[in-house]
Amino acid sequence: MTSSILGTGSALPEKIVTNDLLATIVDTNDEWIRDRTGICERRIATTETTTTLSVDAARIALEDAGISPEEIELIIVATLTPDGSMPNTACKVQAEIGATNAMCYELNAACAGFMYGVQTAHAFISSGILKHALIIGAETLSKIMDWTDRGTCVLFGDGAGAVVMGPSKEGIIAVEGGADGSKGHVLTCGNAPLINPFVRNEATSPYVDMDGQEVFKFAVRKIPEIVNALSAKGNVSPSDLDLVLLHQANKRIIQTAAKRLGLNEDIFPINLSKYGNTSAASIAILLDEANKSGQLKKGSLVALAGFGGGLTWAGILMKW
Ligand code: UT7
């Protein structure tokens, strides 16, 4: 017995922010952003929140799976941008959708968070501890952007994706993941300083700060490692893969990874042109699009891989 993805969903904010519109806010231009990243526009939350996007994506995934909220025993929301620290986003989703039998928690592994969440649910389901889980990747990254820093604010967007998972004869074949906390400084977002009656620490920047080139090098090295490790564990060759769904950070990262793996770029769907980098949400949104568009067919062999702040990375190999 393994676990499988029974249904998918996604939700995006209504507001579309084009590169040209960004160029009126910060010193940038459409040509630079397209050439260096492949991003043309992104969605930015105005009325939406991490919670509302999560709820909308979850409802669609439940309907797609044909599973009732009461059947869900675990909700994990992977996010680095919750609306508040307590109650956690999964509890808020639970209340909204009526998943009264679920335990609920948040998981932060930055852009690898959704993959960490899927792996966690896989462990619970394949071991028989529980049957159905709802895993959501959701972000409103726009609230942790320094909108005067053209090096970061043009890259990211808001959105959410969700999957319902359950027991299955076929599905997840192999998992792979890890972290290197010693390189955490290349991608950071400050936290509240320790301030109490006994100490007053300096505040750190509340915004995302990134050494883009270091993250780029890490990504193009790590993705082939993940895909090769998954293939070895699953006793298949990377050339057997029908689709590879990667975290959507930069088109050049995806192209370089495809080249290093010796695989055709066509099997790497890309949607970052529309949404930018949505961190924990990106693979979940891409998966929903691949599912609904028919790119994913029953029996497709698919690898999914995420990488990001931490530094963290994780992937799965599955038969759809
Ligand atoms: O989710 C996981 C995390 N993120 C990633 O995976 C991102 C990984 N890194 C990247 O995708 C790329 O490193 C970036 C897209 C972030 C940057 O691309 P780059 O080719 O590494 O550019 P750069 O940072 O070396 O900057 C090149 C030039 C600089 O100007 P000078 O010093 O050459 O005059 C920058 O100031 O481009 C300039 N620049 C911009 N120009 C216009 C940087 N950002 C912009 C901008 N618009 N938005």
Atom of ligand 1 at shortest range from CA of 219: 6
User: 159 C-alpha vs ligand 1 centroid, how far in Å?
Assistant: 23
pTM summary value: 0.97
With cut-offs at 50, 70 and 90, classify the pLDDT of residue 285.
very high
Q: How confident is the model over 219-247, as a mean pLDDT?
A: 98
CA dist list (Å): 59 to 39, 67, 70: 28, 10, 13
Write the CB contacts of 207 (distance below 8 Å, at least 6 apart in sequence): 144, 145, 146, 149, 152, 189, 190
Ligand 1 pocket: which residues have CB below 6 Å? 28, 32-33, 36-37, 111, 150-151, 154, 187, 212-213, 215-216, 219, 249-250, 253, 277, 279, 308
SS (H, E, C) the chain: CEEEEEEEEEECCCCEEEHHHHCCCCCCCHHHHHHHHCCCEEECCCCCCHHHHHHHHHHHHHHHHCCCHHHCCEEEEECCCCCCCCCCHHHHHHHHHCCCCCEEEEECCHHHHHHHHHHHHHHHHHCCCCCCEEEEEEEEHHHHCCCCCHHHHCCECEEEEEEEEEEECCCEEEEEEEECHHHHHHEEECCCCCEECCEECCCCCCCEEECHHHHHHHHHHHHHHHHHHHHHHCCCCHHHCCEEEECCCCHHHHHHHHHHHCCCHHHCCCCHHHHCECHHHHHHHHHHHHHHHCCCCCCCEEEEEEEECCCEEEEEEEEC
User: 212 C-alpha vs ligand 1 centroid, how far in Å?
Assistant: 6
Pocket test for ligand 1, best of 149, 187, 216 (most atoms within 8 A of CB): 216
Residue nearest to atom 36 of ligand 1 (CA): 151
CA 314 to chain centre: 11
Residue nearest to atom 26 of ligand 1 (CA): 151
Amino acid at 242: D
With cut-offs at 50, 70 and 90, classify the pLDDT of residue 72.
very high
Taking only the tens place, the pLDDT of each residue in 113-164 is: 999 999 999 999 999 999 999 999 999 999 999 999 999 999 999 999 999 9
Residue nearest to atom 39 of ligand 1 (CA): 151
Intervals of CATH 3.40.47.10 along the chain:
2-168, 174-319
- The domain 174-319: what is its CATH number? 3.40.47.10
Residue nearest to atom 14 of ligand 1 (CA): 212
| The pLDDT of residue 249 | 97
CA distance 69 to 71: 5
Q: Answer whether CATH 3.30.70.20 is correct for domain 2-168.
A: no
Average pLDDT of every residue of the chain: 97
Is 192 a residue whose pLDDT tops 90?
A: no
Catalytic residues: 111, 247, 277
| The pLDDT of residue 190 | 83
